[in-house]
Structure 1
Amino acid sequence: MTHSDTDVIIAGGGLAGATLALALARVAPALRVTVVEAFPLSADALPESYQPSYDARSTALAWGSRLVFEELGLWSRLSEHATPIRHIHVSDRGRFGATRLAASEYGQEALGYVVDNRWMGLCLMRELLDTGTQWHAPAEVTGMEPCQHGVSVAVRTGDDTRTITGQCLIVADGGRSGLREKLGFQPRHHGYEQNALIANVSTSDSHQFTAFERFTDTGPMALLPHGSPSRAGRQSALVWTLSDKELGEVLEMSDGDKCQRLQERFGWRLGRFTRIGECNHYPLKLTTVDEPVRPGVALVGNAAHALHPVAGQGFNLALRGLMTLAEQFRLAAEQGLSPGDFHILRRYHELHSPDWKQTVQFSDSLIRIFGKSPAPVAVARDAGLVGLDLLPGAKRLFARKAMGTGGRRAVINGPAASGKI
C-alpha cells in the first residue's frame, strides 16, 4: 500500500464522510485517509463556542448511535448540545390506538437524542484535527479509474483537476451529487408522492423530552424534543409529510396560518403552536442500491440508501454501516491487505446488508401501513397500536428498532457485537 498517494479516499466530508474518517483514525490508524469535501474547511474557521440557532437542522440519534460515538471518543463533546428523547408516543390521528415507550422501562436515561447537524459537524471536525486525516477542500471528486495499485481518482479544485491514487474510494457525498451514477451504480427509486417539510416549532406546553410520531390521513408527522439537553423546553423539531398540493398551500401561508394548520393536523398534546421557524422541504423517496460495492469503491450513507425520515432511521443505519466498514478495514490492515480488495468490501456488504434490508422494510412498512388507506385497514392498524402497547414482546422489538440496538456495530480494538436490551 506504499505505491499510492493515500490508502482510503473519502468523497464527501459531511456527517457520514467525517464520521468514517474519525472511525478509521481510531480503528485503523495505520491507514492513510484523505477526505475530499466541496465546502471550504479551515481549522481557523471553527468557532470557539457554539450558539444553537432556532432554525438549525437536526438529526435524531438512536441510543445505539450514542454507544458508537462513545467508542469514537466523541460523545462527551457531542452531548453538550444533545437533547434526550426519554419518551416516544406513537398515535393515529382521529383514532384511539397509541403506543408509548419510556427509556426508564429499559433502564436507560434516553431512547435517543436530537442533535443539530452543525454542532455534530463541528464536533467531528475538532476531533479530526488531532488525527492524521488529510483534507482537500473546497474540492470534489469527478471520476475514478482502476489503476495498477488501486484506483486513480480525479479531484477538481476550481478550474484545476489533479489525480490522486489510492487503494479505495468511498462515496459519501449523498445521493444528489451524481458521482454515484458517474461510476456506474444504478440506484432504485420509489417515490412516495409526498414531501417532507422540516422546521423548528414552539408550543405553549413543554415537550417533557417526548418524541411524537403522529400518523394522519394525509401522511405522517414527527415532533422531536429540541433545545436544552437538561431542561425540558417548548421547542421541537418538526418533520411534516405533505402532498405537492398541500405543500404549496402551506408554503404560501403566514407563520400564524402555518401554526393553525399544524394544530389541526397534530392536535393539542403540546398545547398551542406559537411559532414556526424557517421551512425547508424536499420530495420523499426510498432509494436503494442493490450492490453498493465494487472492486476499489463503496457507497455509504445516503449514496447507498435514503429512507423516509419519519422513523428517524436514516443516519443511524448509515452509522452502523460505517462502523462495520471501518472494522473490515481494520482487519484488512492487520492482514496486510488492501482496503479496496473486493473480498474486503464484499464482506462488509454481506455483514451490513441484513441490517439495511430490515431497516428499509421497517421504515417503508410504517409509511405503507399508516399512509392513506381504507377504513377497515385504518381500524386494523389502530388495533395493532393498542396490541403493541399491551404485548411486552412486540413492544420490546419495536423499542429495539427505535433505539437502534438491533444491528451490528464495531467495537474498537475488539470483535463486532450486537447491542441488546
Structure 2
Amino acid sequence: MTRNQLDTDLIIAGGGLAGATLALALARVVPELRVTVVESVPLAPDALPDEYQPSYDARSTALAWGSRLILEELGLWQAVSEHATPIQHIHVSDRGHFGATRLHAQDHGQQALGYVVDNRWMGLCLMRALLDTRVQWQAPAQVTGMVPTEEGVRVDIRKGGEPLTLTGQCLVVADGGRSGLREKLGFQARTEEYGQNALIANVSTAESHRYVAYERFTDTGPMALLPHGSPREPGNQSALVWTLSDTALHDILSLSDEQKCRKLQERFGSRLGRFTRIGDCYHYPLKLTTVNEPVRPGVALVGNAAHALHPVAGQGFNLALRGLMTLVEQMRRGVDRGVSIGDLSVLGEYQRLHRKDWQQTVQFSDSLIRLFGQPLAPVALARDAGLIGLDVLPGAKRWFARKAMGTGGRKPVLSITGKAREARSE
C-alpha cells in the first residue's frame, strides 16, 4: 500500500488545546501532510460565535512568554491576545516566613512574563484558524484501538455508535491522561500521588491585581492567584489555584461562598485586600505522571498523555506546547527526507530532543512542592535564604525568570515562521 492509498497521513486522538494546536502547526509547517483529528465533542463550524463573551467562571491557562512566541509563529497570537491578561510581575512568598522574591517583566525587556487566557477563548481561536486549513475532523468520535501495519497504523474508531477504521502513517495520542487510550495501547505510565487536590476558581478582591501573579507557599500547600479579566486595564478578578488535602477540600466545599472567601483570606493574606467573591469551584487530585518511553513505531504521546505536572509552576501546557513544536519540526524533517512520519527515526528524535526539557521542567515543579512542603525550621530558613537570594542575585534571578517565562529550554532548529509563510502562500 502506498502513501496515497492510506486514508490519511496522521491521526490525532483528541481535539482539545494540545491536539488542535498540533493540527494547526502541521497545517502551517507541513501543509502536504493529510491530518485527521478524532474528537469526542461534536463540532459545528457554523456554531462558532462571532463575538466572545467572557464568563466569570471560565477556566483559564497560564501561557509563558515563550508560548506567546510560538503562537506568534503559528499566526494565532493576534487573535488570542484580544482576551489575554498579561502577567507583568510575579511575587513568590512563603507564608509565615520572611523570604520572598519578585520578578518584573520590564527588568527583562519584555511586555509581560506571561499571560492568562480562558481555555474556551483559546479553543475558539484555534477552531477559527483550523477552518482555513485542510485538516479533517471525525467528531463526535473516539479512538478505541490501534494495530501496527507495514505501512504505518490501522486505527479503530467509534463514531455515532458505529465502528470505523482509518489507515495512516502515524497516530498521536493527545487526549490527556484520563481517557485510558494510553494504557489500552500498552504504554506504562509512572504516577506519584501528592496526596493533595487542586481547587480551581475565579475570585474577586477589593484591590486591583495590578497584573501581579502571586505564588504563595503555605504549611498546607501552595496557592496561586493569577491576574484574570481585561487585558487592557488592571481589574479585581484573579484565577485561583488552591492546593488542599482531601479533608481540607471536603471542608472548604461544604462552606458558603462568604465562608470560602474568609478561609481564603486566612491562607493568602491581605495583599489584594478583602476577598469579595468566589465563583464555581472545580477540583481534581494532584499527581505527577510521566511516561519514560512515550513513542514507538507509528505512535507518539503528547501533552498530558505523556506527562502531567503539579500546577504550582504553571508549566503544564507550556511544556506540552514546546513538545508539540519539537514533534512538528521532526515531522517536517522526515517528510523532507522522504521518511514516514511514523518511523522511529522521526519519533525517536522527537523524544530525545524533548526529554531534557520535560525532565528539567518536572524536576523544577516537583522540587518546589517537596521543598516548600517541609515544615522543619532549618528547611524553612534555607527556603527563606533561597528566596532572598533569588531576589538579590542577578544570575539566580535571570535563571528563575527564564524558567517562569518558558524561555530557558531548547530552541527549535526549524524556522516555523518561514514554513508558515510558505504554506500560506500556496
Into which bin does the TM-score normalised by the smaller protein fall?
over 0.9
User: Could you say which residue in structure 1 is the equivalent of 2:175?
Assistant: 173
User: Could you say which residue in structure 2 is the equivalent of 1:141?
Assistant: 143
User: Could you say which residue in structure 1 is the equivalent of 2:416?
Assistant: 412
- Of 284-293 and 403-412, deviating more is 403-412
Structure 2, unpaired ranges of 5+:
420-426
Q: CA deviation at 1:3?
A: 2.5
* Native 8 Å contact 1:68 1:409 kept in 2: no
User: Could you say which residue in structure 2 is the equivalent of 1:342?
Assistant: 344
User: Could you say which residue in structure 2 is the equivalent of 1:418?
Assistant: none
Distance 1:413-1:204 versus aligned 2 partners, 3 A rule: closer
User: Could you say which residue in structure 1 is the equivalent of 2:133?
Assistant: 131
Regions of 4+ moved over 3 Å: none
User: Could you say which residue in structure 2 is the equivalent of 1:25?
Assistant: 27
Q: Distance in 2 between matches of 1:122 and 1:271?
A: 34
Could you list the per-position Cα deviations for residues 310-346 of structure 1 after superposition, in whole angstroms to 9, with x for gaps in the alignment? Answer: 1100000000000000011111111111100011000
Secondary structure in 2 matching 1:2: helix
User: Could you say which residue in structure 2 is the equivalent of 1:43?
Assistant: 45
Q: Which amino acid aligns with 1:149?
A: E
Q: State the identity as a percent.
A: 74
Does 1:373 pair with 2:375? Answer: yes
* Native 8 Å contact 1:88 1:102 kept in 2: yes
Match of 1:188 among 187, 190, 202: 190
Q: Distance in 2 between matches of 1:385 and 1:188?
A: 31
Could you list the per-position Cα deviations for residues 72-106 of structure 1 after superposition, in whole angstroms to 9, with x for gaps in the alignment? Answer: 00000000000000000000001111000000001
Q: CA deviation at 1:148?
A: 2.5
Does 1:399 pair with 2:401? Answer: yes
Q: Which amino acid aligns with 1:406?
A: G
Aligned residues: 415
User: Could you say which residue in structure 2 is the equivalent of 1:294?
Assistant: 296
Q: CA deviation at 1:137?
A: 0.4
Match of 1:84 among 83, 86, 95: 86
User: Could you say which residue in structure 1 is the equivalent of 2:11?
Assistant: 9
User: Could you say which residue in structure 1 is the equivalent of 2:314?
Assistant: 312
Q: CA deviation at 1:413?
A: 5.5
Secondary structure in 1 matching 2:407: coil
TM-score, normalization: structure 1?
A: 0.98
Could you list the per-position Cα deviations for residues 323-377 of structure 1 after superposition, in whole angstroms to 9, with x for gaps in the alignment? Answer: 0000111111111111000110000000000000000000000000011421211
- Once the two structures are superposed, the pairs formed by residues 244-255 of structure 1 within 5 Å of their partners are 244-255=246-257
Q: CA deviation at 1:414?
A: 5.8
TM-score, normalization: structure 2?
A: 0.96
* Native 8 Å contact 1:323 1:409 kept in 2: no
Secondary structure in 2 matching 1:241: strand
Q: Which amino acid aligns with 1:371?
A: G
User: Could you say which residue in structure 1 is the equivalent of 2:366?
Assistant: 364
Distance 1:309-1:8 versus aligned 2 partners, 3 A rule: same
Secondary structure in 1 matching 2:193: strand
Q: Which amino acid aligns with 2:307?
A: H
Q: Which amino acid aligns with 2:177?
A: G
Q: CA deviation at 1:108?
A: 0.6
User: Could you say which residue in structure 2 is the equivalent of 1:105?
Assistant: 107
Secondary structure in 1 matching 2:5: coil
Could you list the per-position Cα deviations for residues 172-195 of structure 1 after superposition, in whole angstroms to 9, with x for gaps in the alignment? Answer: 000000000000000000010000
User: Could you say which residue in structure 1 is the equivalent of 2:272?
Assistant: 270
Secondary structure in 2 matching 1:61: strand
* Native 8 Å contact 2:73 2:417 kept in 1: no
Q: CA deviation at 1:408?
A: 2.7
User: Could you say which residue in structure 2 is the equivalent of 1:225?
Assistant: 227
Secondary structure in 2 matching 1:114: strand
- Of 373-382 and 78-87, deviating more is 373-382
Q: CA deviation at 1:147?
A: 1.4
User: Could you say which residue in structure 2 is the equivalent of 1:207?
Assistant: 209
